Structure 1
Amino acid sequence: MADALICLALALAALMATAVVLTRGTVRQAIVLSGYGLVLGLLFLILQAPDVAMSQIGVGTVLLPLIVVLALHATRRHRDTGHRDTGHRGAEKETRR
């Protein structure tokens, strides 16, 4: 019975890993990555490693996808507002006046 559960959890982990790779949108990919972290946490729990499972669930399910989504948001916001490195150009304009 335990071997069947381990095989099922491994198959589910392989399926979720494939889903992460095949997901198109970056935000959707972060959400699927969160599900993959949860499946890995459950796999570690089945393999009787509760401390690793708790760490995996905390980091792989919550923290990593959150960091990815926040980084994507910051990158898009920076790109959409049109920020450019104009520090030197601004100084040149002041010296010409």
Structure 2
Amino acid sequence: MTTAVLFLALALVAVSATAVVLTADPKRQAVTLSVFSLCLTVLFVVFQAPDVALSELAVGSAVVPLLVLLTLRKMGRR
């Protein structure tokens, strides 16, 4: 891959990580965390690590935000 693609993927991860940190609402933060995880998946594919990318896709963009949202829902009932 070219250097431009690598820098673009790194910039995408940096921007999405900043968005996660600057988000104050936990529900919105779970969604931006999912977007950040998708950006990390793209970065891992660019760096030719498909096994890590698949793990990040499954856990980071699906399981973790789902658990955060379920926890927030459970805490909101009390």
Q: Return the structure number with greater relative CO, CA threshold 8 A, min gap 6.
A: 2
Q: What are the superposed Cα offsets for residues 22-55 of structure 1, whole Å, 9 maximum, x if unpaired? A: 0121101100000000000010001000000000
Q: Percent identity?
A: 50
Aligned to 1:47: 47
> Following TM superposition, where does structure 1 have runs of at least 4 consecutive aligned residues deviating by more than 2 angstroms?
none
Aligned to 1:69: 69
Unaligned runs of 5+ in 2: none
Q: How does 1:1-97 map to 2 (within 5 A)?
A: 2-78=2-78
Bigger-Rg structure (1/2): 1
Q: Which amino acid aligns with 2:70?
A: L
Shift of 1:2: 1.5
SS of 2:77 mapped into structure 1: helix
TM-score (norm 2): 0.96
Shift of 1:17: 0.4
Q: Which amino acid aligns with 2:20?
A: V
Count of residues in Structure 1 that have an aligned counterpart in Structure 2: 78
Between the aligned partners of 1:56 and 1:2, the Cα distance in structure 2 is 23
TM-score (norm 1): 0.78
SS of 2:28 mapped into structure 1: helix
Q: What are the superposed Cα offsets for residues 59-89 of structure 1, whole Å, 9 maximum, x if unpaired? A: 11000000000011111112xxxxxxxxxxx
Unaligned runs of 5+ in 1: 79-97
